[in-house]
Amino acid sequence: MDIFKYIRTFLHYILTPLRMILCFLINNILHKISEQCETLTTLYMFALLLGKSLMYLLGVTVEIDEEDLIKYSKFLYSDKKLIAVVNHTSLIDGYVLLATFERYSVVLLKNPIYKWLGYSEIVHQKYRNIFVERNKTTKNIIDKVSNRKPGEPILFVAPGSGNTPKNPDNITEFHGNGAFVGKFSILPVTLHYEDESIHHNQDNGESFIHSTLKLFVLNNNYKIKVKVGDIIEPDEKESIDEYKQRAYDIINKQYQDMKKD
């Protein structure tokens, strides 16, 4: 490591309190601006700025091939009824997607921390996100995907819910059925972290605060790979569980291939 890398690494860690404050302020400021945005183009310009700003402050480098961005854009501006299914392991997965894709919406759990980050009901509606609600989530997903128009955000669903996998070498098993009940086409999106140091281990007793704090002690230039796979078409002869398992196997295979690169 040369002297300049030592200096950058030293500054990265010594400025951790400042980076935490800046992340908090940027979230609140850009979410407040988002409340005033009247068009999707303006809204997602600030969303992209939010994602990329937080990646910079955390010292994260997101890697994705240009052809994968083109593939995503092709489906974004098509009238195809599809859901993006993504593996989910870290608290920053959503920000990684914000920093990567032109437009996207997501199904997410309600959390009191959102209000401290400026994520209001207005912002929630403008991003066209969906909160998980008992006996409503699946219907909301089906309605959102069925009524999406070309250019409107593609809905991302994480059936693994951020839990740790039973087999550490694989992605987390898919538990939720919401992404599969409607038998929509699936766009597989895979995230691969360079190690497991920032995985959110809530199911193993890790607190939300601890998972958040460890994001700020990453090695500078921590790498996260993003891969957009080929579209998965439903088979009407399959049950929902069979479709879910087939999608899992494809995304897990994509994950294994990314580990080899």
Which range marks the domain in which residue 47 is found?
3-260
d(CA 180, CA 176): 9
CATH number at residue 101: 3.40.1130
d(CA 183, CA 237): 11
Query: What angle (nearest 5°) sits at the alpha carbon of residue 86, between those of residues 227 and 251?
Result: 65
- Confidence grade of residue 98 (pLDDT, cut at 50, 70, 90): very high
How many domains is the chain partitioned into structurally?
1
At position 23, the amino acid (one-letter code) is C
pLDDT tens readout for residues 59-88 = 999 999 999 999 999 999 999 999 999 998
pLDDT tens readout for residues 207-220 = 778 888 889 988 88
The model carries a pTM of 0.92
At position 232, the amino acid (one-letter code) is I
Q: Is residue 232 within 8 Å of 188, Cβ to Cβ?
A: yes
